[in-house]
């Protein structure tokens, strides 16, 4: 028996010489290479073995000695691009469709290469190619939840997330803007030529897009997914109350998992303790139905302490999403000033009814007379707010699977199987109180998406010489505040076409 290491060497050498298991090479003048792209690894392995048994040299790795490249469902442009990425070949090999290979296998010898065996140049009518054009700012574009280019946008969004976790905000924004452009496109991207002239697509983003269009995946994205650091940052920042800086510090201290964090005996603040305790629940998506159940409870709490107050479900659910990572509510009263002191009463009611597993309330620190909407420059507003972990009861209980139990014919001494997790789950909930004079701005800011709001502020500053926040809109040219009682009025002040919440999913 050949030792393991020796066997690996033999296998490697066999792959390069084109023989396997002592198969005789009958046609040394023909050296085949089967392109795995679109063919698949298992099919390629099967066909390679078949070729060797028929006496054809088949190489596992492409080299200058290859005379025939066998492809399946590839265009000649794709294969030539692939060859160029490997330094080309002299002389250039035949680029053949799988049909030549299968017919040669049946014949037991290499057949004459006919025109129908050759990969064909794609004849594309320029009039049939869909070229895209979109405005530069996301706040000028309508972006629904329907995404025709999910593989591309998911890849760019992952790179954006990784950059943000690494506190490289510039790169994170660049990838995010590129993803937002692709989300807004009305149909599938099939070639790089369609992207000519589109805004926000930098060199790095275009490289990722090109690789996915050609190979179906991006090597950078795949290596990022597998990166221990990225995985650790994802896990640790998934703890409520833990940001990228804290996670990075823990990673430097050797902590990369929840188990290691628990074992390390780190001192955690109240938010982090609650986040760790309810980690699984908080990192489970919240459904629209669950958000509506929580809203019923919040509305009841608000009505009990201040009749006439209004509660609005904001965030992704207002934009039409069916799931989210948390639930956000904006609360106000039609009479200015009546909202003062509302939050402590609402929180007290929720606590007395056993709905809050954790809560932290911050006071309203915004004063229009002293604080302009863009000073200091920050995306964070300063409303009175309650960050909480909500205890959501489940309507359906988990039962045993004894079919007789449903008819009452089971063992009278048996009991229903029920634990804590079958009775309730923890959900992240934010409550925000706004004066009615600022409500339109708060509603716009808390509806999102995050990039849409960022682009609104950028448009206001760069294109209109204004400062926009979730509190107000200030005209720097006229040195005055521009009032608004609705989102439509804010868009009008900014010189933008009104875009409804369902179209703000940038």
Across residues 78-101, what is the average pLDDT?
A: 80
Choose among 363, 262, 255, 345: nearest CA to 300.
345
Q: Where does 144-267 have alpha helices with state H?
A: 150-165, 169-183, 203-215, 219-226, 228-237, 244-252, 258-264
pLDDT of res. 79 = 85
What percent of the chain is predicted at pLDDT more than 90? 73
For residue 5, what pLDDT is reported?
Answer: 40
For residue 89, cis peptide bond before it (omega within 30 degrees of 0): no
- The mean-pLDDT minimum among 4-8, 259-263, 364-368 falls in 4-8
| Residue, of 67 and 5, whose pLDDT is higher | 67
* Res 48 pLDDT > 60: yes
- The distance between the two most distant Cα atoms of the chain, rounded to a whole number of Å, is 92
pLDDT for residue 379: 53
* pLDDT tier at 86, thresholds 50, 70, 90: confident
Mean pLDDT, to the nearest integer, of 146-162? 97
pLDDT confidence bin for 235, thresholds 50/70/90: very high
Q: What does the mean pLDDT of the chain come to?
A: 87
Specify the range with the lowest mean pLDDT, choosing from 37-51, 113-127, 222-236.
113-127
Write down the pLDDT at residue 367: 74
Q: Is the pLDDT of residue 54 over 90?
A: yes
pLDDT for residue 55 is more than 70: yes
For the chain, the C-alpha Rg in angstroms (whole number) is 30
- At 105 the pLDDT is 93
Quick one: pLDDT at residue 41?
84
Q: In the structure, what pLDDT confidence band is assigned to residue 162 with cuts at 50, 70 and 90? A: very high
d(CA 156, CA 73): 26
Tokens matching residue 19: 């023989």
Query: Catalytic amino acids?
Result: 326, 328, 430
Q: What token pair was written down for 426?
A: 């923890």
Distance CA 123, CA 369 (A): 66
Q: Which one-letter DSSP state was computed for residue 495?
A: T
Beta pairing, strands 323-324 & 310-313? unpaired
First-to-final CA distance of the chain: 61
- In angstroms, rounded to a whole number, what is the distance separating the alpha carbons of residues 198 and 220? 23
Q: Which long-range contacts (CB under 8 A, 24 or more apart) does 229-236 make?
A: 230/162, 230/165, 231/256, 232/256, 232/257, 233/162, 233/165, 233/166, 234/165, 236/261
Number of residues written out for the chain: 506
Chain segment 424-473, per-residue pLDDT in tens: 999 999 999 999 999 999 999 999 999 999 999 999 999 999 999 999 99
Q: What is the pLDDT of residue 371?
A: 62
Angle of the 169-183 helix axis to the 150-165 helix axis, nearest 10: 160
Query: Which tokens in the block code for residue 299?
Result: 């509305």
Give pLDDT, residue 2. 41
Domains and CATH numbers, the chain: 4-117 (3.40.50.10190), 138-225 (1.10.150.110), 227-277 (1.10.150.20), 286-395+420-493 (3.30.460.10)
pLDDT of residue 81: 79
Specify the higher pLDDT residue, 361 or 82. Answer: 361
pLDDT at residue 382, as a whole number? 87
Give the tokens for residue 111: 């057949």
Strands 384-393 and 424-433: antiparallel
Confidence (pLDDT) at 491: 98
**Angle at CA of residue 462, ends 459 and 467, nearest 5°:** 70
* Residues 481-495, mean pLDDT to the nearest whole number: 97
Mean pLDDT for the stretch of residues 149-166:
97
Question: Which contiguous run of DSSP H or E holds residue 357?
Answer: strand 356-362
Mean pLDDT computed over 82-103: 81
Q: Is the pLDDT confidence value at 305 over 70?
A: yes
In tens, the pLDDT along 332-354 reads: 999 999 999 999 999 999 999 99
* Mean pLDDT, rounded, for 167-178: 96
pLDDT reported for residue 126:
54
Cα–Cα separations (whole angstroms), residue 5 to 8, 15, 60, 61: 5, 16, 19, 20
Token output for 358: 């954790």
Q: Kindly tell me if the per-residue pLDDT of 397 is higher than 60.
A: no
**Any idea which of 139-148, 242-251, 288-297, 378-387 has the lowest mean pLDDT?**
378-387
Predicted TM-score of the model (pTM)? 0.72
Q: How far is CA 149 from the centre of its chain?
A: 12
Kindly tell me if the per-residue pLDDT of 135 is higher than 60: yes
For the segment 392-401, the average pLDDT, to the nearest whole number, is 56
Say if residue 416's pLDDT is above 70: no
């Amino acid at each position: 028996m050949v030792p393991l290491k020796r066997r690996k060497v033999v296998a490697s050498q066999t792959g390069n010489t084109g023989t396997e298991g002592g198969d005789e090479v009958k046609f040394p003048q023909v050296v085949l290479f089967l392109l795995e792209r679109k063919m698949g690894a298992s099919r390629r392995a099967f066909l390679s073995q078949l070729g060797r048994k028929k006496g054809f040299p088949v190489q596992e790795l492409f080299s200058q000695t290859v005379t025939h490249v066998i492809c399946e469902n590839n265009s000649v442009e794709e294969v030539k691009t692939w060859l160029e990425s490997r330094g080309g070949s002299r002389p250039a090999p035949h680029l053949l469709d799988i049909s030549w290979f299968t017919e040669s296998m049946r014949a037991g010898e290499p057949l004459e290469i006919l025109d129908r065996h050759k990969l064909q140049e794609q004849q594309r009518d320029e009039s049939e190619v869909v070229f895209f054009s979109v405005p530069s700012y996301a706040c000028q574009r309508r972006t629904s939840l329907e995404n025709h280019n999910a593989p591309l946008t998911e890849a760019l969004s992952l790179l954006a997330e990784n950059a943000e976790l690494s506190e490289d905000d510039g790169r994170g924004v660049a990838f995010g803007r590129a993803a937002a452009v692709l989300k807004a496109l009305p149909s599938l991207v099939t070639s790089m030529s369609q992207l000519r002239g589109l805004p926000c697509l930098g060199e790095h983003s275009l490289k990722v897009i090109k690789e996915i269009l050609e190979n179906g995946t991006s090597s950078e994205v795949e290596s990022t997914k597998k990166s221990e650091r990225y995985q650790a940052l994802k896990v640790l920042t998934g703890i409520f109350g833990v940001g990228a800086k804290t996670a990075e510090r823990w990673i430097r201290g050797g902590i990369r998992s929840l188990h290691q964090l628990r074992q390390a005996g780190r001192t955690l603040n109240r938010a982090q303790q609650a986040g760790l305790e309810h980690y699984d629940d908080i990192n489970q998506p919240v459904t629209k139905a669950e958000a509506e159940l929580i809203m019923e409870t919040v509305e009841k709490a608000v009505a009990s302490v201040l009749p006439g107050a209004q509660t609005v479900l904001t965030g992704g659910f207002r934009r039409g999403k069916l799931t989210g990572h948390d639930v956000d509510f904006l609360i106000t009263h039609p009479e200015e000033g009546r909202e003062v002191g509302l939050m402590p009463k609402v929180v007290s009611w929720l606590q007395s009814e056993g709905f809050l597993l954790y809560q932290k309330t911050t006071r309203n620190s915004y004063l229009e007379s002293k604080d302009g909407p863009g000073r200091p420059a920050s995306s964070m507003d300063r409303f009175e707010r309650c960050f909480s972990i909500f205890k959501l009861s489940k309507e359906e209980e988990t039962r045993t699977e004894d079919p007789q139990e449903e008819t009452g014919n089971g063992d009278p001494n048996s009991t229903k199987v029920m634990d804590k997790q079958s009775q309730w789950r923890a959900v992240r909930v934010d409550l925000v109180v706004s004066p009615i004079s600022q409500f339109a701005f708060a509603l716009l800011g808390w509806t999102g998406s995050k990039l849409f709001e960022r682009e609104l502020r950028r448009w206001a500053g760069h294109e209109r010489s204004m400062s926009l926040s979730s509190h107000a809109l200030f005209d720097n040219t006229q040195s005055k505040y521009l009032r608004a009682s609705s989102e439509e009025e804010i868009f009008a002040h900014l010189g933008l076409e009104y875009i409804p919440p369902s179209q703000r999913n940038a």
